[in-house]
Structure 1
């Protein structure tokens, strides 16, 4: 974030509530109390709405404004005007729990003036006190199999059910206490009246129901008509609700990937809940979900969500700029996660399997993609829940999930 502040006039720090945005800012920036403002304070919000230009002009420099999106289009236009008059870097830090671009009434953005950073729930590296370098090494075949550690299955299950919200992790919430925390969290987020105009929300109960339905589909293609039918709402309403939940950073959409060599690729995105603890709570999942007698579908989806979100988190600080997507063609060939370097066009594929016994069968679609793309395909990994590291073909390895938080330079 400090690098962004030294490069841009304005920095936007987004992320779900309770991901530690305020704590991060206070730890990194030694701003005096008079330089902190929050639009959760109704009096401050009223001043910013009534006279946005005067409010922005009166802000000290630098200053931080929390929940900035609540002041709407007028405030952002005032910030834009101020940034155009003064090109000094690091003037304003705006933090918010809603993606301001999701507001359809905002025709003006801060493009070219603002750097953006999204704060996710805690990554495994943040929990362990290391800086993960998984994405930094991913496109180098010689870097694999790389460092591997050991994550016992019992600890993996605990991690998936706990998730990464800082309060849940640091307080070690479990059982009823954790259920109560997630219940209160969802209620607080989806019931905020100020956010409803973004998607013309009518009923809180509908939104909560749709969030549960999406949690049950995490890691799956998003078929809006199916979700709408199960939620007993219209397709347009369901689409609006998905937009709002994405804006609230409760879910994210993983787009489909295609190239001219795979013209039959499907175009629907996958829906991914941003935190496995939240997804597990919404679906009522517990340790029994991972029992040998369970069918494994829900457990596999939670594991795939965990790996996918860990990669999303690392993408916010990796030295490489990457795009994330998934591949599936009409014949059923699928690669769970595609990581593409924006500058070079190089590509790596990840298959995510909740198994302790990886085999070449798990890598067959990676091999298909490698053969289609040739040298552009750099690395394929089957990320699994066991301890084995195995070669599964040219440039393809099976690696334990702990490789995600490798920390070599």
Structure 2
């Protein structure tokens, strides 16, 4: 075990370690939480860069003057630790032994990667937090159902969390070495970003075929390790069919009953499997807005995926579905920033509503282009209906490359290219 720990903690021996492309500056809350007493949890889908962010945190701490022996990292995805996942004394024994050998430490930064792999993680972390005031726990996890239950029961009031998503477009540009790109460069880079998505490893891979292979591997790993295994599913074919169906219909309004009928599986199974996919951060559901919460829950949901690259690798033909990919990207971008997002549907439809407090504060429509007169009429009509319904004076239509301002009946509609919107989104005051 000591050999495994030494290999995971190269800074103990003043060895270099890989920290990847700098992202920590994009998460000021993480730096702020480092000095707090509470546990810090970095949650999100696999391969979104959580482990790399932990290494960037460690580099930040070392540069700040934290002694190298005051940082202990344990990666529970290591085969040795996976084989000991049911040992209730595993983490406690490691930490107690380490503190005994470093008795003079004022503070120990304990970094535990993929914490959900250890059966007794919550009780161990709670013990560290409650009995060892000099231990600061920094955790990563990728199955929210396994994390949420323990956090809400055993660790309630003891932690801060931060969700890590694939790269935003500004982050993606930095990964391509572009700090001040021209408009032409933004357009070129955005096409690749939309096609292959924002997983960090994929963004750095120059070979297009390898990008697709990596994305397919990520997808298989997520549904195997974070859906099938933790939920002990036996009928894997139903899950695979459902996930393919949902990803192929990203952005479409679907009822559980309709999905069940299309796939010839039970409605309750559909509901459960979608919940499992959400818990693995693979898929997200969007509800139709209604003042009645009961009606919101009963209405058809829209399904979106964590990453447009995964959609392309698993289900889509890119050129035929650019509009839906744009919509998916806008959803994920809004999801990062706002807690309450819905879609509008009455006579017409509006893709996204953002709720602030008790009121709808922003309406957004997404389309590849307004060049077709029929599309232009439909998109403006749906947005105007939403603006009227919620008393909004302004609305946004996000396109792939078009820009204009339209005034209709005193309502201002801002048509903006997606890469411009991603660079500087209009903020809603929470």
How far off its partner does 1:102 sit? 6.8
| Residues matched between the structures, number | 368
Q: How does 1:303-318 map to 2 (within 5 A)?
A: 303-313=326-336, 315=337
Correspondence 1:201 to 2:233: yes
Answer whether contact 1:199 1:243 (CA < 8 A) is retained.
no
Q: What corresponds to 1:319 in structure 2? A: none
Answer whether contact 2:341 2:352 (CA < 8 A) is retained.
yes
Q: How does 1:105-120 map to 2 (within 5 A)?
A: 108-120=153-165
What secondary structure sits across from 1:19 in the alignment? coil
Q: Which has the higher relative contact order, 1 or 2, with Cα contacts under 8 A spaced 6 or more apart?
A: 1
How far off its partner does 1:150 sit? 6.0
- Structure 1, 226-235 or 62-71: larger mean CA deviation: 226-235
Q: Which of 29, 54, 76 lines up with 2:122 in the alignment? A: 76
| Alpha-carbon distance in structure 1 between the residues aligned to 2:344 and 2:263 | 26
CA deviation profile, 1:109-163 (whole Å, cap 9, x unmatched): 5232111111111110101239xxxxxxxxxxxxxxxxx9567876544332111
| Alpha-carbon distance in structure 2 between the residues aligned to 1:327 and 1:189 | 27
Q: What corresponds to 2:313 in structure 1? A: 281
Correspondence 1:347 to 2:361: yes
| Alpha-carbon distance in structure 1 between the residues aligned to 2:151 and 2:295 | 35
| Alpha-carbon distance in structure 1 between the residues aligned to 2:266 and 2:150 | 22
Q: Which of 25, 42, 48 lines up with 2:54 in the alignment? A: 25
Answer whether contact 2:116 2:141 (CA < 8 A) is retained.
yes
How far off its partner does 1:341 sit? 2.7
TM-score, scaled relative to structure 2: 0.74
What secondary structure sits across from 2:81 in the alignment? helix
Q: How does 1:145-160 map to 2 (within 5 A)?
A: 156-160=190-194
Q: What corresponds to 1:318 in structure 2? A: none
Q: What corresponds to 1:35 in structure 2? A: 72
> In terms of Rg, which structure is larger?
2
How far off its partner does 1:212 sit? 1.2
Gap runs ≥5 in structure 1? 131-147, 290-297, 316-321
Distance change in 2, residues 1:354/1:102 (3 Å): farther
What secondary structure sits across from 1:202 in the alignment? coil
| Alpha-carbon distance in structure 1 between the residues aligned to 2:211 and 2:416 | 31
How far off its partner does 1:75 sit? 1.8
Correspondence 1:62 to 2:76: no
| Alpha-carbon distance in structure 2 between the residues aligned to 1:250 and 1:187 | 11
- Structure 1, 221-230 or 59-68: larger mean CA deviation: 221-230
Gap runs ≥5 in structure 2? 1-29, 62-67, 100-107, 176-181
Answer whether contact 1:56 1:79 (CA < 8 A) is retained.
no
- Structure 1, 79-88 or 183-192: larger mean CA deviation: 79-88
How far off its partner does 1:284 sit? 4.3
